[in-house]
Amino acid sequence: MYAAGAGVPSRTTMHNLGHVTHKGIELSVEARLNRYLAANANYSWQARPDTAQDNVWALNRPPAHRFNAGLSVDCQRYLGSVSVGYVDSAYWNDVLDVMYSGPTAAYTVVNATGGVQFAGGKYLAMLKVTNLANRPIQNHVWGDILKRQVSGELRVRF
């Protein structure tokens, strides 16, 4: 039942899906390339959840593949990083009803950060940009649409 004209459920029912098995693997590597440069990468794979129940449609199907890679530089006064991430498509199922379920598309995102230290390293000013390409990203079927985000940060060492 829906509340009068509001589209908000007035009654919900939860069901126990029984035993569900989740399987996956994650691999990660970090390396210092030289005095100033470092690199990192990780990959994870998650199988579709396995259940003996017939209602497999009721399970979330998380992204099967995720990949991230980044490069960072630290030249004492100046520092920065760039990273790229990929997340495979997924299917999200809410407990309310099928109206609150659906897929999300795979996406790739590129992020960058740059900063400068001053006053002998006491202060660090940084500029961070998430989703440089400004492409719409939706992590969850009922989540916000994420676009470019720019933020500044000032750190003070005491």
* In a domain? residue 126: yes
Side-chain half-sphere of 115: how many Cα atoms within 13 Å? 23
* In a domain? residue 1: no
* In a domain? residue 3: no
Instruction: Give the burial string for 58-73 (b: 16+ CB within 10 Å, else e).
Output: ebebbbbebbbebebe
Task: Domain of residue 141: give its range.
Answer: 20-156
* In a domain? residue 13: no
pLDDT 10s per residue in the chain (158 long)? 444 555 665 665 666 666 777 889 999 999 999 999 999 999 999 988 877 666 656 678 889 999 999 999 999 899 999 999 999 999 887 766 667 788 889 999 999 999 999 998 899 999 999 999 999 998 887 778 999 999 999 999 99
